[in-house]
Amino acid sequence: MAARTVLTTNTLEEFRTTFNSLSTTDIGDTATLTTTASNIVGAINELDTAISGDLVVQTFGHTFNGDGSNTYTSFIVTVDTKTSSHIYFGTGSGNGYVLNNSVAPFISFKVGNTYRFDQSDSTNSGHPLLFYYDAAKTTQYSTGVTTNGTPGSSGAYTEIVVSETTPNILYYQCSVHGYMGSRIDIESSRIVAPSFVDTTGTTINYSTTNFAIAQAVALG
């Protein structure tokens, strides 16, 4: 941080103003920061809202329409060549989904909310987005899901209404190509295939028939 000239006769307000003033040695050349803020904290906040794309690490969804003020939360979907920022870089398709300028982000959904994946952008052509229980698309999830139009055309989207019975983990993926999307975490009451690891390191699923029978017997 740059040196500040503070006098012992300064008031507390004068000290605060002097200390918070921007300097080229604080956070780079302020002329290139594209900020109108008058203090360091303000500059950082202003820049933070302007940065997008691979530079932003974020989880979407958890702050949207929880209070019912919005009809739905909209994610603008585009398709681009995968980079190392994509969780499945090197696996499946060479293309990946980009949501609101962020490369295949993890998403957090809230029960009671509706989420719309807008696929109007022309790059979505041939890449319909749907939901699955696993990243490899073994089983599709369709409850509360609606689609509209053709991906890549105006008005095209996939929408999901999240309820208490929506699985706590889902994946948004292209129905035609592999591993273009990422994971969705949902605070729902429906837990999918929970498991534990025994003392030998073996994973045992609660949903297996034998375990279910043993549990039923133990509970009477």
**Domains observed in the chain:** 12-50 (no CATH), 54-186 (2.60.40.420), 193-220 (no CATH)
pLDDT band at 54 (very low <50, low <70, confident <90, very high): very low
pLDDT for residue 86 is more than 90: yes
Q: How far apart are CA 163 and CA 29, in angstroms?
A: 49
Q: How far apart are CA 97 and CA 76, in angstroms?
A: 10
Q: What is the pLDDT of residues 170-208, one digit of tens each?
A: 999 999 999 999 999 998 877 776 666 665 667 666 655
- Statement: the pTM of the whole predicted model exceeds 0.85: no
